Chain A
């Protein structure tokens, strides 16, 4: 990595980092790509959340029979309401955080190349 202000260097030696710092067209492209990748990741996580947890109310509504199955004397619908949610949120959040950090790291590598 070459230290020093990029502005004085000849055009051919400009790095992505200089591009970004001066918000030139190239820099904007790099940043837009990162922003889109992060947004896509967030939307993916949101979709997973919707598919796994968001369907729970409608499943419980459409399957009242879950009320009659009662492991340990408590209806299955209540087990489903209380137990799986929080661990799922943490797991989703943890996976998302790992991927988001990795995207940031990849971007940093690109810029500092």
Chain B
């Protein structure tokens, strides 16, 4: 009950702050200037707050619980991506002044087609990233209230759609910064309290020794709501539905509905089909091992995907423009590294505690629940319940803030890059009835004439609202259909696609004058296509966990170099290279010389767009 209240408070708080944020934005004459008064620490907390998602909050601990400590490479990878961003992207991109990835692609290479392609990839990445947020919401609400899985998905999708559609979560740096501290408290405080209560990590033999996950000293009682097919890794005895059953090692059995009881110390079976194998403590705690996700090649592939993929996450990039200048972008990123490093210390403890205290999750195959279930299992009673409520509220904060950021990015892309292009094509193909055409003409003419005309803003706002709903719908439907994929794996895919398409675009576009528009176009398509098809093939083959097949689900180590090669190769073939000296000046010249590219505020007055999403006319201002 207390947990439900905490989750409701976080949800209502988000809606309220969203509404408050709209007023804040509308009464501020220049949003950008206001945002630029934000200090580096606030900015760093805001970036971290937007970044920490369901994958960070639930996914890492879930993967660690299921697969072993090799999953902790993901936590390191999520942090280290900001180092790549710092070294190669943060300052130049801030100086360049384009606010989204399609903006950058178009301005750097002067190609409208590149903008459209970038928009499509933005949608793909955001979709892959949004899906696990919604899945996490379904799980969390189920654990907290016992409601069916779909309720949480629908609740969060609805809240986010409403929130974004009324124009919330935009430029609210302080809200995102506050969210970071909420999430850090929600994940850190319970662990510290529980470890003190338990007197350190319990069950060392299960964690690091030779024991398999087993029932605690009081045995294990579990009410199964549906028959469950499981495999016993060792000989065991259990009582199912009142009957005593003996099984041999390696035997598969169908557990009936009803009460299941395992004796104290009895080995816990694993759900068949989840793709996990029983591991002793020594196997489980080995960070790099012989096979599966722990194989060295896969560890490196994961690290490459996260190292290079972070810079391609659309909702993160927007946040960087609240920095006043290039050096501030650098200093902010260093602080982000520190804040994330602190946060990612904690999920590891949940996975470990879960292995000892909630082994029944192996049986039911609900590894992603482990963060939510550990507090009550470690300290039964009101204290554990309260800590569990705190964790659930933090998890909800994570789903809501990241989902909102993603939805804003998607809705902005749909309504401003894709919709107008499609509308033009559609009008060219179909003769419209005269009255509709004239109405369209008058509204776009108004949009062009007035700066910005009330009609133009209203039209774009309407589009943005419809786009927000369109953006949330497909991931929500998918989240309802696929429950069986781990959150961490889904987010890994988003990173792999980002690393294989946007990362080469940034690195080559910023540091190499020889990049051509055609090269960037072909390289991005190639990278995105091979990364996506590898992932889909891996999914079709049922997430193979060993050998070359496993590389399909973690393809970055192959697809990123290929995308780079394609981009460089095609650019070299192009005889006519663009003169990029103006762009290079904008990217690399330090501030304070009086020759920065000035940003005219153009059509940046639409309050529904994420920070600075309007197209910016750039001109060279001489000192």
Contact = CB atoms under 8 A, between A and B. Distances in A.
Interface of A: 5, 17, 20-21, 23, 28, 31-32, 34-35, 38-39, 42, 45-46, 49, 53-54, 57-58, 60-61, 64, 67, 70, 73-75, 77-78, 80-82, 85-87, 89-90, 92-94, 96-97, 100-101, 104-105, 107-108, 111-112
Given A74-B208, A78-B287, A23 B582 contact: yes
B350 interface: no
A54 B83 CA distance: 13
Contacts of B83: 49, 89, 92-93
Nearest to B622: A21
B281 to A, nearest CB: 10
Nearest to A53: B80
Interface in B331-362: 331, 333-334, 337-338, 340-342, 344-345, 348
A108 B590 CA distance: 7
Contacts of A89: 79-80, 82-83, 337, 341
B585 A20 contact: yes
B286 interface: yes
Contacts of A90: 334, 337-338, 341
A1 to B, nearest CB: 9
B593 A93 contact: no
A39 to B, nearest CB: 5
Given A34-B590, A73-B200, A101-B327, 13 more contacts: A17-B623, A21-B620, A23-B582, A35-B511, A57-B73, A67-B286, A74-B201, A81-B72, A86-B337, A89-B79, A90-B338, A92-B83, A97-B327
A84 to B, nearest CB: 10
B69 A78 contact: yes
B588 A75 contact: no
B296 A58 contact: yes
Contacts of A112: 593
B581 A23 contact: yes
Interface stretch (B86-94, B180-188, B243-251, B560-568): B86-94
Contact of B87 (A28, A42, A87, A111): A42
Contacts, number: 137
Interface of B: 69, 72-73, 76, 79-80, 82-83, 86-88, 91, 200-201, 204, 208, 282, 285-289, 296, 299-300, 303, 326-327, 330-331, 333-334, 337-338, 340-342, 344-345, 348, 511, 581-582, 584-585, 588-590, 592-595, 620, 622-623
Contact of B590 (A78, A82, A107): A107
B286 A57 contact: no
Contacts of A23: 581-582, 585
Contacts of B204: 73
A20 B286 CA distance: 55
A34 B588 contact: yes
B282 A67 contact: yes
A58 B330 CA distance: 30
A80 B584 CA distance: 41
B69 A100 contact: no
